[in-house]
Structure 1
């Protein structure tokens, strides 16, 4: 459904357009109105608009000025001008701006509806004529699926993109599976599976993991089928290095994103469960209960030690637990190694809870040392070594939890409205104090940090896409192209166009057609 916005300084004109046009017949929704151009621009900055119907002579800002400003928000905006002036100069300027029609007041309803029909036909044909090659489709599909399964896309945008890509995401249940492997044939096999099986979708996430989303009508039957298909994938590629995890089955009407998080967590437990075929999140939950009850490991003590960055507390708890475990009847070296690995994974998950991403090789290196240990003393030394390095890493990062949250929020929402006032309200801290704290802990102002981060993202888009500069500016959070140029020149020695031309990595991308 196309979206129209109406601007006129005469309220009765706006009201009349709402009432006399059968908008639904043209598959159009009126999403807003304004009585002057400045007010219209403010609203259109947050409301997606396909068609603008505007008067040309208004106070504060003329219709022509409005059109120029609105085109910076949406270069593909279609415009219909209403005017009480049969003035050739106005008409000429309107044609220069690329309008659909210049209608004189009083408005001829038939002419208006014919203009609307012609405009929507052009927009529909433009969509049909869009040519997407397989590479572009894969990029767009991955982008949309990742944002959907992590809950980062609005329903309206999802509907539009899903329709374009033939994604049927309307079954009542889903289950996410994650596969990790260095086998280059795995991606091809998963693409083939997606092509063969309706309602199975594949993409690579930001961590490089292979992700399958299985839409389901009857989970009791279809989960078994999904596992069988994954087993067939395993048989066709390098089994030794392939780790498969299953997330929980979730209702699409609930927290469906939990399935992806659970599949990620199950991957971390792969070594603990020592299950060669796959790891199911349900087994992980059972394993957590068994471990905590059977061996009485004091996970809250470890959590407190991590939160306090206290090496001594953590080392004492490790000594206590493993001294108790080594004297537990029936304990075997294999079980001890499994529990040690589980401890390390639990600590990593604790870091995830506080959204700390340092020491990325912490698990890998520590688990290798544990599995290679020949005695319990060697094993405990390996565990302490990994935990000690982790504490050192935490102590090197002295930022307060509030600033860590602000940095993470900025990195995830850099293309949105960001200000100390907005963030201060969200995190319940006075914006002035937040500004002082941010500068004290990072060495730069919040505004400078945001601009630098946005310009870095813009440089990446200039290198890797063929997007227009004005589209890149909007994509990274600048609604005013002129301000983007100013900031770009501040942090980079040359203009955006020159930067793009000088890059050897510039590539055609679907993002020249769609914003992510």
Structure 2
């Protein structure tokens, strides 16, 4: 409903306009009348009408003066001028002043309504546009942090090669509060996530909480912006800092105790989030040098692999060599092949020797290879070893290889702890390989049958029947040899297949449930959530 004020010095004209037209049916509320511009202006300031119908010639303040007085008001008002033939030149002048339209006297109801209806239609469009702009502004405000994060992530990873002038324009457009010419990069690595990180969604929230803590503490020295980084093995978050970055380039030393604030971030992460983190600090640089600064911060932070977690590693305090990019391949190019062979043969002595050789070689490699490249290389070596073992045991994926992946490959361990964890996991896999003859063969054949028929809704009884065994005996042997019940093994197998389909296909949830052996997709969804901590739909949305 729009509001209308009628202004005319003749009472009969005002009453005629007020009484002869059904304004409510036109979506308009008549809020009153005024006999000249001065009275009208007072009412306008108090009641803020949307539409004004005014005579052009009136005593004290006429229609033109009234329009002039309204010109600088923040809210637009639509003014319809009433004009006689002799006042036509005034009407034209009023249009130049911004009048919406004019109606000649004597006033014809149809002509006036035609102008008023156009005015209402334009008001509708104006309000719709304003509402759209408000919504769009809200979306921009909401998406601005994501746009900033994407922009910073691209700069840090070297994904933007725009000229400096364009980069600075984008920097300003994203309302970045940092000085683009005096930046320090802090690489934050989360080593131990603690009990609150049961799934990827939890980890995402923890990264955001850690970002807030880091920004608040680092801001004690200047401006700070945290940028969480997903799916990165070297760092979970970067903090960009600009402020009192006093830095002696000749001595490569900071003139203030900036690492003190970083230690406060490490302590707060432990106290409030249960995290064990390390922080690497780069030297100063501009926004065009962020990729180099980020790499420098990563190199600094990677010293935690040798010297321990929960510390600040400042590139200004480290005697870091100018390492050439050099991939660490282990003691030689065949280390994982030899260790894999020892595992297959169940040769515990050779396994011990292989682990000791790797740890000793990694320790000595620090003198010539960056800790960052050493830790990356060892991670790849261990992944390759695990893949070789799985390829040699296509139906026996548990529990040995699962323990190896959980406690070594997917665990972030310093070099001082890596040897014992690796040795224990490999010896466990080797003991499985030795097995116990006929009983091991039963488990292998049971797993093979499961992989071939899991999509058909098979049970433990079906597997036992296929092997011509008593179900109780098969269940007992499977549990003792595999380290888990057949039912748990079958559920895990089906869940792994379901996760593959959720990642790689566009099948609906009930179709995936059917393909992995669940006739009731509700039972499938419930089981999936119990194991993974999220529903199948959430798992797909998170892109885990």
TM-score, length-scaled by structure 2: 0.33
TM-score, length-scaled by structure 1: 0.35
